[in-house]
Structure 1
Amino acid sequence: MAVHAHPDDESSKGAATMARYAAEGVRVRVVSCTGGERGDVLNPRLAHDPAVLDDMPEYRRREMEAAARALGVEHTWLGFVDSGLPEGDPLPPLPEGCFALQPLEVTVGALVKEIRSFRPQVMTTYNEEGGYPHPDHIMCHRVSVAAFEAAGDPDQFPDAGEPWVVDKLYYDVGFSPERFRAIGEAMHDRGLVSPFDDWVTARADRPARTVTTRVECAEFFERRDEALRAHATQIDPEGFFFMIPRDVERDVWPVEEWELARSRVQTELPEDDLFAGVRKVRS
C-alpha cells in the first residue's frame, strides 16, 4: 500500500517500483489522501483550458484513473480536501476543513480502515519532512506512521475492521541529490545539458537520507512516464521529469530508493526488495 498526499504524487515517487511489483502479481493499492482540488495547473498547454478550470476535481479524478491503469495498480481516495500550498510572508492560514487541519483521530481512523480492509504487508509513504514541506505531505507522513502503528491494535479504532499488522513501512527517497548528481554527470559526459545542476547545488548542504533499499525497476520507467503524463494538469510533458534520456537513466540509476522506517520482521540491510523478510514469513 502506497499512501500519497495528492493524485500525481504516486506517479513521481516510487511509481516504477509499484509497476514492477504489480507486474509480478503483487496486489498494489495507492491511497490518495486528498483529491488535489487546490493544485495549480502546471502544464502551460492546459493553463487556460475552461474544461479544466471549470471542474478541476473531476479532471484530476480522471487523470488518477488513467495513471492507475498505466501502473497496473488499484486506487482509492481517503476523501479529504487538498490544503493547497500556502505562499507569502507571512504565510496565510490554511483553508478551513482541509486535510492538514483535520484531527488525527479522523485522518488516522480513515487510513486504518483502509489498511484493515486491504491488509498490506508493506506500506510506503513520505519521511517526516514530507519529502518537501507541503502541509499535506507532512500530514500524510504523520497519518501514515500513526495508522501503521494503530492498525494492528484491537483497542484502537475498533469500528474500523479486524486488526491487521503491517510488516514494514518505508519512506520514498526518490528525490535524492545523489541520484540527480549522478545522472547530471552522466549527461555532461555525453555532451548533454543537465536540468538538475541548480537543484543539486541548492541542496548541497542538506543531510542525506539513509537509503536502505534499492529496487531494480528500470524496465518499468516507461510505465512510470505514462502514468506521469496521465496527470496532464500537473505534469509538463516538456518539463524536467522528461529531460533525462532514458538510456542514461537506465545505465546510471536503474533503481528506486527507499528508507526502511519500521519493520516487524528480520531483514538484512541493505535490501533489494521491499518484501525482504516478508515473503518467507508469510509464504
Structure 2
Amino acid sequence: MAVHAHPDDESSKGAATSARYVDEGAQVMVVSCTGGERGDVLNPRLQHDADLLRDLSEFRRQEMARAQQVLGVEHTWLGFVDSGLPEGDPLPPLPEGCFATQPLAVTTEALVRVIRQFRPHVMTTYDERGGYPHPDHVMTHVVSVAAFRAAGDPQAFPQAGPPWQPLKLYYNQTISFDRLDALHAALLAEGLDSPFADWIGRRSSMPVRDVTTRVSCADHFGRRDDALRAHATQIDPDGWWFAVPPELERRVWPYEDFEAAISYVGVAPQEDDLFAGLDNPDAADRLAYQSAETGASPQYDVVKEAS
C-alpha cells in the first residue's frame, strides 16, 4: 500500500517499484489522501485551458484513473480536501477544513479502515519532512505512521474493522543524493545539461537520509514515465522530470530508493526488496495476525516526529 498526499504523487514517487510488484503478482493499492483540488496547473500548455480551470478537481480524478491504469494498481481516495501550498511571509493560515487541519483521530481512522480492508504487508509513505514541506505531505507522514501503529490494535478504532498489522513501513526517498550525484555526473560526462545542479548545491541545507533499500526496477521506468505524463496538469512533458535519457538512467541508477522506518521482521543491510523477510505469504499473514493479537513490538523502529 502506497499512501500519498495528492494524485500524481504515486507516479513521481515509487511508481516503477509499484509497477514491478504488480507484474510479479502482488496486489498494490495506492491511497490518495486528497483530491489535489488546490494544486496549480504546472504544464504551460494547459495553463490557459478554460474548461480545465473551471473544474480542476474533475480533471485530477481523470488523470489519476489514467495513471492507475498505466501502473496496474488499485486505487482509493481517502476523501480529504487539498490544503494547498501556502506562500508568503508570514505564511497565511491553511484553508478551513483542509486535510492538514483535520483532527488526527479523524484522518487516522480513515486510513485504518483502508488498511484493515486491504490488509497490506508493506506500506510506503513520506518521511517526517513530507519529502518536501508541503502541509499535506507532512500530514500524510503523520497519518500513515499513526495508522500503521493503530491498525493492528484491537482497542483502536474498533468500528473500523478487524485488526490487521502491516509488517513493514518505508519512506520514499526519491531525492537521494547518491542518485542525484550519479545522474548529474553521467549527464555532464555525456555533454548534456543536468537539472540537478541546484539540488546538489543545496545539499548542506538538507538532512541526510538513510537509504536502507534499493529496489531494481529499471524495466518499469517507462511505465513510471507514462503514469507521470497521465497527470498532464501537473507534469510538463518537456520539463526536468524527463531530462535524463531513459537508457542513461537505466544504466546509471536502475533503482528506486527507500528508507525503512518500522519493521516487524528487521531490516537486513543493503536490502533490495520491500518484501524482504516476508517471502512466504502464508507466514507473513500469520505474523500480521499474531502481531495484532499479541501487541508485539516491531524489531526495527526509527520513526522521527514531524515538526
One of 264, 281, 284 as aligned partner of 1:282? 284
CA distance in 1, matches of 2:124, 2:112: 14
CA distance in 2, matches of 1:33, 1:144: 10
Deviation for aligned residue 1:41: 0.1
| CA-to-aligned-CA distance 1:102-136 (integer Å, 9 cap, x gap) | 00000000000000000000000000000000000
Aligned match of 1:56: 56
Aligned match of 1:261: 261
CA distance in 2, matches of 1:102, 1:187: 44
Q: Which moved more, 1:111-120 or 1:200-209?
A: 200-209
Aligned match of 2:2: 2
Q: Which moved more, 1:172-181 or 1:244-253?
A: 172-181
Deviation for aligned residue 1:265: 1.4
Aligned match of 2:132: 132
Runs of 4+ in structure 1 deviating by more than 6 angstroms, as ranges, are none
Unaligned stretches of 5+ residues in structure 1? none
CA distance in 1, matches of 2:255, 2:5: 23
Contact 1:177 1:204 in 2 (8 A): no
Contact 2:176 2:211 in 1 (8 A): no
CA distance in 2, matches of 1:150, 1:255: 31
Alpha-carbon RMSD across the aligned residues, in angstroms, is 1.0
Deviation for aligned residue 1:175: 1.2
Alignment of 1:74-85 (within 5 A): 74-85=74-85
Aligned match of 1:11: 11
Deviation for aligned residue 1:178: 2.2
Give the letter aligned to residue 264 of structure 1: Y
Q: Which moved more, 1:85-94 or 1:271-280?
A: 271-280
| CA-to-aligned-CA distance 1:195-233 (integer Å, 9 cap, x gap) | 111221123442320011000000000000000000000
Give the letter aligned to residue 99 of structure 2: F
Aligned match of 1:25: 25
TM-score (norm 2): 0.91
CA distance in 2, matches of 1:119, 1:154: 15
Aligned sequence identity (%): 66
Unaligned stretches of 5+ residues in structure 2? 286-307
Contact 1:83 1:100 in 2 (8 A): yes
| CA-to-aligned-CA distance 1:227-250 (integer Å, 9 cap, x gap) | 000000000000100111111111
CA distance in 2, matches of 1:267, 1:105: 30
